[in-house]
Structure 1
Amino acid sequence: MIFTTLRLGAGLLAALISAGAAQAYELPSINLGLTGFVDGAPPPAGPGLYWMSYVQPYQASHFKDAKGQDLPLPNSDISVTPWVNQFVYQSDARWLGGKLGGMLLLPSLLSASLDDGAGGTILGQTQTGMGDPVLGAFLQWDPVMGAQGPVFAHRVELDLTLPWGSYDKSKGLTPGAHATSVEAYWSGTWWVKPEWTVSSRVFYLWNGVNGDPSPTRFASSGITEAHSFQAGQAVHMNLATDYAITPQLRLGLAAYWLQQTTDTKVNGQSLADTQERVIGYGPGVMYSFSADDHLSLNYYTETGARNRTEGERATLRFIHHFR
């Protein structure tokens, strides 16, 4: 699980409420388009310690309601630049036929702005700093081999997000969710040809309770004082296909899809019309300097958003294997 978006806080929610939006925009940061090409395959350099660094600038000027319509917030804009560092250890130890591994993910927010043309009085102020760390354990299976090389490889992982990041309930945008999350995913890669792969990563997300929201955060729903809220569960997916132009260079397309499956709960009660949705798609490139070092770049345009922002994001990812 890799954080790529940020929870919107009390100030922004107040603006959305006044604009007629449902009480949404509540999902925590999740992996939208950070992983892509050859995602289900084992590390090319073999077992050991890997460092993965991600920068993913995101910008949006559309704030969508439950029907996908733009909210009446003219000249509004959100811009964030998260930086994520992930440390992954792939072992040689086996269980159920796969190799055991673990990871630590440390997200942070380098910059953030909410431009409302009024000095932040409508959308609220922003907060930068460390996000919520994530601990994970995984099983990576070796590729199934065919006459021309690998045919299929896959991995499963279970992640725990700890509510230790920076959080201020009065801010319009904050890097921490102030709630525990549990997420599981399955990732697979198919080799259509030795040079052509198709990959997917499918997630299921469960969110815990935030016990310290702004008391007036959900006032428009008739809740005079919010003591707690719980973002809904969600399914999301990354998809990618690439072609190896040379042994070092891959070009392709990537996409992501998010669908919240249950409504947000406030003080233990579900709120209708709070489920989020979005689709993103765009081109990508990956260059392998060696088996130990890889650099990828993707660009996504979003569409079909419900109860969340709709914009564009770029993803720059560097992978290094420590020998």
Structure 2
Amino acid sequence: MRYFGLKALTVTGGLVVAPLVSAYDLPAVNLGFTSFLDGAPPAGPGWYAQQYVQFYRSGRLKDSDGDDLRLPTLRGLEKAEVDVNIGITQLTFQSDQALAFGGKWGMNLMLPYAAFDLDPEDNFALSANSANLGDLLIGPFLQWDPIMGPNGPRFVQRVELQMLLPTGAYDEDHALNPGSNFFSFNPYWAATAFLMPKWTISWRLHYLWNAENEDPYRPLGADDAQAGQAVHLNFASEYEVMPNRLRVGINGYYLKQFTDSKLDGHDVADSKEQVFGIGPGVVYHFSQHDHVFLNAYWETGAENRPEGSRMNLRYVHHFH
């Protein structure tokens, strides 16, 4: 599910006149896949299956100043865009057994897959891997029971130690790959606060650390590369408009890389990534055990990564 191993280019007159510099290096992470009521599973302990489908459209590639990246083609320099179709299959087990600090243990497994469409396809600089399988995610977690008030739950939270394993498709000859080819540690804290019985706010705050890629994008001419550290946040607020059925609200995300990426152990200037996305969302509860989330996002403020729009569909089923 990795969006890019993409590298920024310096071009003049349609020719590459400077070495490629490392950017677009972060692995694919949770930007907008989760939103409302994120602090706890919807039906308590047991097995959950979830399916995500996300469409990323008109992702204009941005440089370190937030300007459009242009790629050399036979027609001259052209603005670069990418569309991505993403799917994720998730299996989660939530126990009813407290393990530490009152938190009940659980385990999360996620398998992503993605397909890229780069425009212009006939550029001389970037290409996409046609394979689809992304990196396997494994996440042990602790889930706490809700803190209750006189009118129902007031606050609920979870901590998960997510790990992204380099199992996905990767080819150092391609700039766009479903897999990252390096291990990432991506723990998070998720919580939901019930401001009123029908009104909640939720968030999921991640820290991201990345190991070295020992087979980086070949045109870099480097022996190894390492993406920088980052934080990213999903946030949402919704209101119940149909009791036990429909909630509507606003959802968003923010990603900020705070250390430079590295090539052969040396910091690469102007390689930090960032992006902000926001939009409307709904969740419909067919029952206590079946739920559908629909979220839209429009991005702004992107640096060293694409800036486009996302549509996310998520189905959650609890086996009972």
The two structures have a TM-score, normalised by structure 2, of 0.91
In the TM superposition, what is the alpha-carbon distance from 1:213 to its structure 2 partner?
Answer: 1.4
Which whole-Å CA distance do the structure 1 matches of 2:215 and 2:232 have between them? 27
In the TM superposition, what is the alpha-carbon distance from 1:160 to its structure 2 partner?
Answer: 1.3
| Structure 1, gaps ≥5 residues long | 218-224
Which whole-Å CA distance do the structure 1 matches of 2:61 and 2:44 have between them? 44
Question: Which residue matches 1:280?
Answer: 277
1:129 aligned counterpart, secondary structure: coil
CA contact (8 A) 1:112 1:128 kept: no
CA contact (8 A) 1:61 1:311 kept: yes
Which whole-Å CA distance do the structure 1 matches of 2:34 and 2:91 have between them? 15
Question: Which residue matches 2:181?
Answer: 178
CA contact (8 A) 1:22 1:65 kept: no
Deviations along 1:200-223, one digit per CA (max 9) or x if unpaired, are 110000001100113432xxxxxx
Which whole-Å CA distance do the structure 1 matches of 2:36 and 2:311 have between them? 15
Question: Which residue matches 2:37?
Answer: 38
Which whole-Å CA distance do the structure 2 matches of 1:61 and 1:206 have between them? 25
Which whole-Å CA distance do the structure 2 matches of 1:136 and 1:148 have between them? 33
Deviations along 1:73-104, one digit per CA (max 9) or x if unpaired, are 43432011110011100001102111110011
Question: Which residue matches 1:229?
Answer: 225
Deviations along 1:110-134, one digit per CA (max 9) or x if unpaired, are x31111152x544323323211101
CA contact (8 A) 1:22 1:66 kept: no
Which whole-Å CA distance do the structure 2 matches of 1:287 and 1:16 have between them? 44
CA contact (8 A) 1:127 1:173 kept: no
CA contact (8 A) 1:22 1:307 kept: no
CA contact (8 A) 1:232 1:262 kept: yes
| Structure 2, gaps ≥5 residues long | 13-17, 72-77
Which whole-Å CA distance do the structure 2 matches of 1:299 and 1:227 have between them? 39
Do structure 1's residue 209 and structure 2's residue 212 form an aligned pair?
Answer: yes
CA contact (8 A) 1:292 1:322 kept: yes
Do structure 1's residue 29 and structure 2's residue 28 form an aligned pair?
Answer: yes
Which whole-Å CA distance do the structure 2 matches of 1:66 and 1:187 have between them? 30
Q: Per residue, is there more strand in 1 or in 2?
A: 2
Amino acid at match of 1:232: G
2:162 aligned counterpart, secondary structure: strand
Distance 1:182 1:99, change over 3 A: same
Counterpart among 234, 238, 244 of residue 242 in structure 1: 238
Which whole-Å CA distance do the structure 2 matches of 1:137 and 1:270 have between them? 32
In the TM superposition, what is the alpha-carbon distance from 1:150 to its structure 2 partner?
Answer: 0.6
Amino acid at match of 1:105: M
Distance 1:117 1:91, change over 3 A: closer
Counterpart among 93, 102, 119 of residue 97 in structure 1: 102
In the TM superposition, what is the alpha-carbon distance from 1:17 to its structure 2 partner?
Answer: 3.9
Do structure 1's residue 165 and structure 2's residue 168 form an aligned pair?
Answer: yes
In the TM superposition, what is the alpha-carbon distance from 1:182 to its structure 2 partner?
Answer: 0.6
Which whole-Å CA distance do the structure 1 matches of 2:81 and 2:60 have between them? 7
Question: Which residue matches 2:319?
Answer: 322
Which 4+ residue blocks in structure 1 deviate beyond 3 angstroms?
A: 17-22
Provide the identity percentage: 45
Which whole-Å CA distance do the structure 2 matches of 1:23 and 1:250 have between them? 42
CA contact (8 A) 1:54 1:318 kept: yes
1:57 aligned counterpart, secondary structure: strand
Which whole-Å CA distance do the structure 1 matches of 2:286 and 2:141 have between them? 26
CA contact (8 A) 1:80 1:112 kept: yes
CA contact (8 A) 1:127 1:171 kept: no
Which whole-Å CA distance do the structure 2 matches of 1:202 and 1:75 have between them? 33
Do structure 1's residue 108 and structure 2's residue 113 form an aligned pair?
Answer: yes
Question: Which residue matches 1:264?
Answer: 261
Which whole-Å CA distance do the structure 2 matches of 1:123 and 1:230 have between them? 20
**What number of residue pairs does the alignment pair up?**
306
Do structure 1's residue 312 and structure 2's residue 316 form an aligned pair?
Answer: no
Question: Which residue matches 1:197?
Answer: 200
Which whole-Å CA distance do the structure 2 matches of 1:285 and 1:261 have between them? 32
Amino acid at match of 1:83: G
Which whole-Å CA distance do the structure 1 matches of 2:113 and 2:238 have between them? 29
Amino acid at match of 2:232: H
Do structure 1's residue 48 and structure 2's residue 46 form an aligned pair?
Answer: yes
CA contact (8 A) 1:39 1:187 kept: yes
